[in-house]
Amino acid sequence: MKTVNFFKTLFFATAIVGALSLSSCNDDDDPKTDDPDIENPEDGDTDVDEEQVVIDIDGNTLISENTTWKANSIVNWAGHIVINPGVTLTIEEGVTVLADKSVGPELYIEGSLIAIGTADKPIKFTVPEADRTENNILKLAAWGGFICSSTAENFVMDHCVMEFCNATLTDEYPSIQRGEVKLDEGDPSYGFYSENPNTKVIVHNSVIAYTIDDAFRPEGGQLSFYNNVFAFIGSTGGEALNIKKGTTGDIAYNLFYNCATNGPKWSSKNAGEVQTNMNVYNNTILNGGYRRSSLGRGGSINIEESARGTIKNNLIVNCRYGFRVVDESVDMANTAYGYQYYFGNDAIMVSEFVPSNGLLTEAAATSITDNNDPMFANYDVNSFKVTWDTVDDEGTSVNVPVSTTETLKFEQWTNFDFHLKSGSPALSVGQDGISATYNHNVAGKTFSVPASKNYIGAFGTN
């Protein structure tokens, strides 16, 4: 294998600035991001960086001892990387990792990956500017993903940006050669994959966008997803979080914006000793489920075979289906749900607040289904429109989306403010006090998820 070449150079660079725009609430004890403002990554200043390090990964690279990519480095990523068991790759704030689309590199993790940026200097996993075009949104799959093996210990992304993944796998990929990932040559890779129920998977304060298929596909892990944006996930299919066997944890205070299928979906099929069990609360899910027209697919939140969970305080707006329990195999005896708030801007959306293709026949009594505008601070809930067709499904008429008014623009969600206006009917109607499953201590930092608040959605008032 080739080694990594390190060298330093002085040059003018565009400062890449991209942090989450959406703080959760104005109360001191409510969850917040570090910075309430977001800027387009292209629109930063052009100051001269001090002796910026450039790291060229021009071939397959084995990391066999603890390694740090120093702050503000540029990484030209043109080869697969394997992190050995017991070894940590640490990525510091402001590092930009640029994937070579002709290689579609994969980062295979047998040890730990710790990527901790800041609001002002996020870490970016992306593509060169020449490839980062709006025409490539939901078309370009430039790198293979983060693949955690059965020995992986920690995966941390805090204040990071992750975009344009899901490259097509070949027999040259470590994940294919080692046979752990449930994928074959010719399939699109997952943006993230894990195998071990004990792997700590922490994704906080980050933006995950423009993936052509599943962004995250954990099949085992202790998850902590907090205060993230998942936007434009899946071209004609794919979930933001497609969670499988042996996975536990928390999904709270996230924005899911225009995903092809669901935001969170989880199953416990073939789980073994660890049943999949997710806390999913105080999320905002908009315009979900319309780029996959298959019957019964698409939606907002999905719980499937043998899994359990807590599903409360989620604001579901203009989605193809509401919270869906797939069938009677779900562990309903240990599943708690309610306090969802629904809005749909046409009659078909409203009719599917309780999905016609799921186990439930009515919404929980605590859910809000009277179709009142939730009153976002700056977002018109009638701006997204769907055109429907009616097809016959074994003698039953089924509504299928055929087109929408969706547009694909970089950082589009930052044009809006998804906090709630004073007087919103989604305020003071949620359940507070739902505790997170995990507080993870990794790399000298505690990653905690706040308990639920009594508003519905990810963001309270400004």
Is pLDDT of 33 > 60? no
HSE (side-chain half, CA atoms, 13 Å) at 363: 22
Looking at residue 292, its pLDDT comes to 84
Q: What mean pLDDT is predicted for residues 120-125?
A: 98
Is pLDDT of 4 > 70? no
DSSP SS3 for 278: strand
Looking at residue 409, its pLDDT comes to 97
Is pLDDT of 383 > 90? yes
Task: With beta carbons less than 8 A apart as the criterion, state whether 382 and 345 touch.
Answer: yes
Segment holding 351, helix H or strand E:
helix 347-351
Q: What mean pLDDT is predicted for residues 446-459?
A: 98
Distance CA 368, CA 430 (A): 10
Label the pairing between strands 445-448 and 439-442. Answer: antiparallel
- Stated length of the chain: 462
Instruction: Name the CA radius of gyration of the chain, rounded.
Output: 21
Looking at residue 6, its pLDDT comes to 26
Looking at residue 180, its pLDDT comes to 77
CB atoms within 10 A of CB 416: 18
| pLDDT level of residue 176 (50, 70, 90 thresholds) | very high
CB atoms within 10 A of CB 287: 22
Is pLDDT of 28 > 70? no
DSSP SS3 for 349: helix
Segment holding 352, helix H or strand E:
none
| pLDDT level of residue 67 (50, 70, 90 thresholds) | very high
More confident residue, 204 or 16: 204
Lookup: tokens for 267: 């199953």
Q: Per residue in 401-421, pLDDT tens?
A: 999 999 999 999 999 999 999
Cα–Cα distances in angstroms (integers) from residue 153 to residues 12, 92, 144, in the given order: 38, 19, 20
Distance CA 258, CA 137 (A): 13
Q: What mean pLDDT is predicted for residues 40-67?
A: 73
CB atoms within 10 A of CB 294: 10
Look-up of token digits 């001892």: 65
Q: Per residue in 180-227, pLDDT tens?
A: 778 889 999 999 999 999 999 999 999 999 999 999 999 999 999 999
Looking at residue 99, its pLDDT comes to 98
Is pLDDT of 395 > 90? no
Q: Per residue in 126-142, pLDDT tens?
A: 999 999 999 999 999 99
Task: Please name which of 76, 77, 155, 162 lies closest in space to residue 110, comparing C-alpha atoms.
Answer: 155
Q: What mean pLDDT is predicted for residues 365-394?
A: 95
Q: Per residue in 236-290, pLDDT tens?
A: 999 999 999 999 999 999 999 999 999 999 999 989 899 999 999 999 999 999 9
Listed in order, strand segments (DSSP E) in 284-431 are 284-286, 302-303, 308-312, 315-317, 324-325, 336-338, 341-343, 376-378, 386-393, 396-404, 417-420
| pLDDT level of residue 50 (50, 70, 90 thresholds) | low
Distance CA 176, CA 172 (A): 7
Lookup: tokens for 409: 């623009």
Q: What mean pLDDT is predicted for residues 35-53?
A: 45
Looking at residue 2, its pLDDT comes to 34
More confident residue, 421 or 7: 421
Q: What mean pLDDT is predicted for residues 4-19?
A: 28
Q: What mean pLDDT is predicted for residues 347-361?
A: 96
Distance CA 197, CA 274 (A): 7
Task: Please name which of 237, 286, 293, 230 lies closest in space to residue 261, comparing C-alpha atoms.
Answer: 237
Q: What percent of the chain has pLDDT over 70?
A: 89
Q: Per residue in 291-345, pLDDT tens?
A: 987 777 889 999 999 999 999 999 999 999 999 999 999 999 999 999 999 999 9
Domain boundaries, the chain: 5-448
Return the amino acid letter for 457. G
